[in-house]
Chains A and B, each alone.
Chain A
Amino acid sequence: MGQVLFNGLYTGAQYALIALGLTLIFSLMNVLNFAHGQLYVLGGFVTYYVYGRMKLPFPVALVASALTLALIGYLFQTLLFRPVMRRSVRDESTMLLSAGTATMVESLVLIFFGEKHRGVPAVISGVYQIEGVFLPKGRLLVIGLSFLFIAVFILFMRYTRPGRALRAMAQDAETACLMGVDTERYAILGWALAAMLAGIAGAMLVPISGVNSGLGNWISIKTFIMVMIGGAGVVSGAIAGGLALGMIESLGYHFFPGGETYLIIFAGLIVFLAVRPNGLMGKAVG
């Protein structure tokens, strides 16, 4: 059982990191980013090339993934989302745009990196064993790093000037704009940060379970589940949702080795949302 909980913590910590990025974009701009899973996969591939092929140290790969994805987030906002949001009055447009972006990123990844599953050697090998529970060092590192990045993100949002501006924007973009927040620039920052979080999560995945180009949609769907459990647009909700899904998934795979886990999760989610439409910590969304 301890093993199951440990696995849950490991997946959950990673999931929380992904869900944070999605929630950030959602609360800042009301955009549901369907391409989030694909960004995560892209982060994984950057790490695969920098760490696995070019044999540079893992921290370098981590930074490279983060920076590449931040750049992509920047391009997304300036080239795609900003013009569309300016011109169209409907929310659906940005949703469809992000769905299109998801397909684009996925097919580009497929064209450039192929469909093979890619793995790299572990960053650190070795296993701790505490009371019959195996704790691989690599996984402990992922848990540690995930929580570190989550903590850094929260501190950044709480105590720095751009963080405060982002929070103001998430609360009420119009008022924030009137108060002198340059919403366009902060929208770019928000996108860059969100993509970066996805990239970091992707980078940490590769040494343990590898990466392939078809993962994206499934990760996006999982992220939506996390966000629905926790509540859309709330940082605490994203973290809670991520950890919760990680735990549930780990328990599910333990009790149902077949493929039924996610079927049960979906059924449970429908019941849960019937009771709490705004998730655990969400505020009512119009």
Chain B
Amino acid sequence: MKKLKTAIGVAFFLAIYLVLLPWLFRDQPYRLGILTTSSVLSLISAGVWLMFYIGRINMGQGGFALLGGYVSAVMISKLGVSFWLSLVGACAITVVVSILVGLPLLRLKGVYFSMITLSLTETARLAAQSFPSLTNGSRGILNLPLPGALKVAGFTIIPDFNTLDKHFAFYYLGAFLTILGFAVLYRVVNSRLGWLFRSLQQNEDLASSFGVNVPWLRVIALAICAAFAGAGGAFFVATQQSIYPATFTFQDSTYFLLYCFLGGLGSVWGALVGTFVLFLSFEMLQGLNQYQPLIYSLIMISMMLWLPNGLLSLKWPFSRSSVEPAAKPAIKPAIEEERP
């Protein structure tokens, strides 16, 4: 019964996402672009969500996304590789880097891990500025070509983007990547690996005493997280056709956290819902110019005040909430609610 319900829900969602939305906005490339960006951002946030799932707060996702974007951009502009190969390359290199960096850093717990991953975002930005021969420094890499045709054994799977309406092409590519990403995420969470991840979230020491290879699992989680960031970064760069050191910053890293949190950490779809709701509402506030970040931060703060468990914790009318109970605290809060 529950499976059927999930299947119907997913089918319904796909119908809206793949048919209704593009049809509604067929004459509004700007709106379509915003939806595309939401897709990518939700893909990147999915990685952050997975780190939340093993009880870590990853504030370096912006750095990984920037790395992925630069790998793709450099491969296209310097090596003349096609976009599709660079997408794979971006994923691969981001994963390798995340494993190299993750092995020492994942030993750090709680707030330490967050602080160091925050520095990673900044490291990525500085690295992009410090190697101008490869990255053009702060001027960035401009005028990247649109993705070309993807051919396998003579068959054209995806035609050249120049021959298509590029807004639709990017929309569907982004949708495809996002669906793929969330399918992977769903599969990971609802598998043996997912159970092991959950054991890390509850109590790492206990898990390790039961023979769970904790360090290895953490690296796997970070690698998956980084792969999402790499793919998302590369795709985002392709849509913008340019990349700068400021394409993904510290601010973006915290926004990814916010998206996950707004959606809710209890469900796989949290990152998706959170990103779409927040990013779209943010875009609607476009006219506010300088007040935009202020309003964004006010949303962030009021959410923490009134809806600390995320949007998906709200109960739908006429149905029991299917959201799993919220994560247990990793560290006990310093101040308890009751006082003598």
Determine if chain A interacts with chain B. Answer: yes
Per-residue contact bits, chain B 289-331, to A (CB 8 Å; 1 contact, 0 not): 0110110111011001100110000000000000000111111
Taken together as a complex, chains A and B put the C-alpha atoms of A257 and B60 apart, in Å, by 27
Taken together as a complex, chains A and B put the C-alpha atoms of A224 and B127 apart, in Å, by 19
Stretch of A3-11, A156-164, A195-203, A268-276 with 4 or more beta carbons under 8 angstroms from chain B: A268-276
Q: Which residues 109-161 in A have Cβ within 8 Å of B in the complex?
A: 110-111
CB atoms of B297 and A96 under 8 A apart: no
CB atoms of B122 and A277 under 8 A apart: no
Per-residue contact bits, chain B 226-245, to A (CB 8 Å; 1 contact, 0 not): 00000000000000000000
CB atoms of A101 and B297 under 8 A apart: yes
Among candidates A28, A90, A218, A267, residue contacting B327 with C-beta atoms closer than 8 Å: A90
Q: Which residues 209-235 in A have Cβ within 8 Å of B in the complex?
A: 217-218, 221, 224-225, 227-228, 232
Q: Which residue of A lies closest to B122 (CB)?
A: A221
Taken together as a complex, chains A and B put the C-alpha atoms of A93 and B304 apart, in Å, by 6
Interface flag for B65 (CB, 8 Å) = no
CB atoms of A100 and B304 under 8 A apart: yes
Q: Which residue of B lies closest to A227 (CB)?
A: B115
Q: Which residues 231-251 in A have Cβ within 8 Å of B in the complex?
A: 232
Q: Total number of A-B contacts with CB less than 8 angstroms? A: 180
Closest CB in chain A relative to B294 CB, distance in Å: 4
Interface flag for A206 (CB, 8 Å) = no
CB atoms of B300 and A96 under 8 A apart: yes
Interface flag for A107 (CB, 8 Å) = yes
Q: Which residue of B lies closest to A217 (CB)?
A: B250
Interface flag for A47 (CB, 8 Å) = no
CB atoms of A111 and B130 under 8 A apart: no
Q: Which residues of A contact B330 (CB under 8 A)?
A: 90-91, 286
Stretch of A51-59, A66-74, A170-178 with 4 or more beta carbons under 8 angstroms from chain B: A170-178
**Most chain A beta-carbon contacts within 10 A, residue among B297, B328, B331:** B297
Taken together as a complex, chains A and B put the C-alpha atoms of A87 and B329 apart, in Å, by 13
CB atoms of B340 and A111 under 8 A apart: no
CB atoms of B301 and A100 under 8 A apart: yes
Closest CB in chain B relative to A275 CB, distance in Å: 9
Interface flag for B202 (CB, 8 Å) = no
Taken together as a complex, chains A and B put the C-alpha atoms of A259 and B123 apart, in Å, by 11
Q: A84-B308, A100-B300, A285-B110 are in contact. Are A30 and B331 (CB under 8 A)?
A: yes
Q: Which residues 115-153 in B have Cβ within 8 Å of A in the complex?
A: 115-116, 118-120, 122-123, 126-127, 129-130
Q: Which residues of B contact A101 (CB under 8 A)?
A: 297, 301
Stretch of B18-26, B29-37, B101-109, B169-177 with 4 or more beta carbons under 8 angstroms from chain A: B101-109
CB atoms of A88 and B118 under 8 A apart: no
Interface flag for B165 (CB, 8 Å) = no
CB atoms of A107 and B291 under 8 A apart: yes
Closest CB in chain B relative to A87 CB, distance in Å: 6
Among candidates B52, B111, B293, B340, residue contacting A32 with C-beta atoms closer than 8 Å: B111
Taken together as a complex, chains A and B put the C-alpha atoms of A89 and B304 apart, in Å, by 12
13 additional A-B pairs beyond A97-B301, A107-B297, beta carbons within 8 Å, are A80-B301, A84-B305, A87-B308, A88-B308, A92-B57, A92-B257, A95-B111, A96-B257, A177-B339, A178-B340, A221-B122, A270-B104, A277-B107
Contacts from A to B (Cβ < 8 Å)? 26, 28-30, 32, 34, 80, 83-93, 95-97, 99-104, 106-108, 110-111, 173-174, 177-178, 183-184, 187, 217-218, 221, 224-225, 227-228, 232, 258-260, 262-263, 266-267, 269-271, 273-274, 277-278, 285-286
20 contacts between A and B (CB under 8 A): A29-B334, A89-B333, A91-B330, A91-B333, A96-B261, A102-B297, A103-B251, A103-B293, A103-B297, A104-B297, A107-B293, A108-B294, A110-B290, A184-B339, A224-B115, A228-B112, A232-B111, A232-B115, A263-B126, A270-B105
Q: Which 5 A-B pairs have the closest CB atoms?
A: A100-B300, A274-B104, A103-B297, A104-B297, A88-B308
